[in-house]
Amino acid sequence: MTTFTIATLGCKVNQYDSQLIRESLLSLGCRESGRANPHPDICIVNTCGVTQASEAKSRRAAQRACREHPHAVVIVTGCCAELSAAAFAAIPGVRHVLGNDMKRRIYQIIGGAREGGAHSICGFSQHTRAFLKIQDGCDSRCSYCIVPLARGRSRSRARSEIIDEATALVSSGHVEIVLCGIHLGGYGKDRGEPRALVQLIRDCMGINGLARIRLSSIEPECVGEELVELVASGGALCPHLHIPLQSGDDRMLRAMNRGYHSAGYRRLIQGIRARIPDASITTDIMVGFPGEDDEAIHNTVAMVKHAAFSRAHIFSYSPRPGTAAWKLGDPVLPEIKDRRRALVGAAADEMAAEYRKRFIGRNVEVLVQGRCKTDARLAYGLTREYLRVYLDGEGVQKGQICRAHIEGALNDGVKGRVVHGFSKTLREAEGSR
């Protein structure tokens, strides 16, 4: 029996793509290699190329696969296979380099077939939450972003196909589905359907057994009143929105070609807070973009404090060939980037800590995700607001939804105790929601 491994780097869309590859290979009768069989016949590396660091990490993953499994067929796919195909093909031991649109060929290469393989997924390996790709590609042209070159123009999947896939995922035991895309808010716009995302969410809310729907990253201009009202309705759509900021400075936003300004972002956050006071708003922030100065960082810190993000991913600008910003070079010194990243991070950590504290003394709903590696007595899970909760692990099973009383705040989450026992398992989700 042919065995395989898949190493996945990068975003939720990439993780979805890996699951699609996995199910295609399983349909051929292949078996995913584990500890019992540590010498796979095929090693697939699904790469990420969004930054220099992610491309370097992807290269190391491919080199490690070749080094540790010299007799395996090593296949490199994903965004680096689009952006740096020659460099990855030159790695000794790499047999195939297949771009994102060629991922389906993995099934053909291994199975010897011209067609076939999975066109949708019915499970999500080792995860309590399932990622469901509804859209791929991006038509925006942020000056720093290489993703449109790697993923192409925005393309939306058919609504009926998504609903069928979501239904299958619930049937296989997943009560939380994360709708994801490269430009999630662009769903349907390539077909002239500006309300398609909201309509799709409403359709998903009607799936029996689906307790939670979560959105992955969505751009500020795509968060309209109708979507906010849907979050506020208290239904399956989680009160958590990941809305990238990138910078709180208007000069930087123009240079980044972000398409919005700081005042508009403030109004958006204020509107969400007014309608959903406890909404969890998470974000991405870039430091070190060419031309950034101390005033720009000051404005970004001020925005972080105003928005009171519950979590922020802060990263340094990485010049990528083929982007509009490439010609600007990389003038901000690494040590300055590090200092600014720490400054913004300190403000973000302060706001996140304040957000966690407001849940002390409350009861929350937790989807249990597993046991802590450092302390098997503790289980951990996520609330609807995307807070990590640590619980006494006695009697706790992965995949259960329970109610927990929050007793204190921690550096990376909150501590709670189970109340009223466990309400549901993965297969017994709140279908009546």
Query: For 119, what's the count of Cα atoms within 13 Å in the CB-facing half-sphere?
Result: 7
For residue 404, how far is the Cα from the chain centroid? 26
How big is the chain, counted in residues?
433
pLDDT score recorded for residue 104: 81
> Quick one: 129-357 is in which CATH superfamily?
tm_1862 like domain (3.80.30.20)
Find the DSSP H helices in 276-317.
294-307
The distance between the two most distant Cα atoms of the chain, rounded to a whole number of Å, is: 61
H/E stretch holding 206 reads none
pLDDT score recorded for residue 427: 37
Kindly give the pairing relationship between strand 73-78 and strand 212-215. unpaired
- Helix/strand/coil for 411: coil
pLDDT score recorded for residue 275: 97
DSSP state of 211: -
Report the interhelical angle of 294-307 vs 262-275 (nearest 10°): 10
* Integer Cα distance of 425 and 134 in angstroms: 26
- Buried b vs exposed e over 50-63: b needs ≥16 C-beta within 10 Å? bbeebbebbbebbb
pLDDT score recorded for residue 423: 52
Residue with tokens 């709670």: 416
- Buried b vs exposed e over 285-319: b needs ≥16 C-beta within 10 Å? bbbbbbebeeebbebbbebbeebebbbbebbbbbb
Residue with tokens 């093909």: 89
Q: Does domain 363-428 have CATH number 2.40.50?
A: yes
H/E stretch holding 278 reads none
pLDDT score recorded for residue 34: 78
DSSP state of 38: -
Residue with tokens 């793509």: 17
Cα angle for residues 83, 87, 93 (degrees, 5° grid): 125
- Buried b vs exposed e over 339-374: b needs ≥16 C-beta within 10 Å? ebbebbeebbeebbeebbeebeeeebbbbbbbbeee
For residue 105, how far is the Cα from the chain centroid? 25
Neighbours of 423 (CB within 10 A): 15
pLDDT score recorded for residue 37: 72
What is the DSSP annotation of 145-185?
--HHHHH-S-EEPPHHHHHHHHHHHHHTT--EEEEEETTGG
DSSP state of 35: T
H/E stretch holding 337 reads helix 334-357
Phi–psi pair at 418, nearest 5 degrees:
-70, 140
Residue with tokens 């006695």: 394
* Integer Cα distance of 350 and 367 in angstroms: 26
Q: Does domain 3-111 have CATH number 3.40.50.12780?
A: no
- Specify the amino acid at residue 185: G
The closest of 401, 399, 392, 404 to 433, measured between CA atoms, is 401
Mean pLDDT split into 10-residue runs, the chain, 433 residues: 94 97 92 82 97 97 97 97 98 97 88 74 92 97 97 97 97 96 98 97 97 98 97 96 98 98 98 97 98 98 98 97 96 98 98 98 96 91 98 87 95 92 45 35
Domain limits of the chain? 3-111, 129-357, 363-428
DSSP state of 363: E
Instruction: Give the neighbor-by-neighbor strand order of the sheet with 311-316.
Output: 240-242, 280-287, 311-316
* Integer Cα distance of 124 and 16 in angstroms: 8
Burial of 136 (0-12, 13-18, 19+ CB in 10 A): buried
* Integer Cα distance of 208 and 221 in angstroms: 31
pTM above 0.75, yes or no: yes
- Specify the amino acid at residue 161: E
**Are 301 and 248 a contacting pair, CB within 8 Å?**
yes
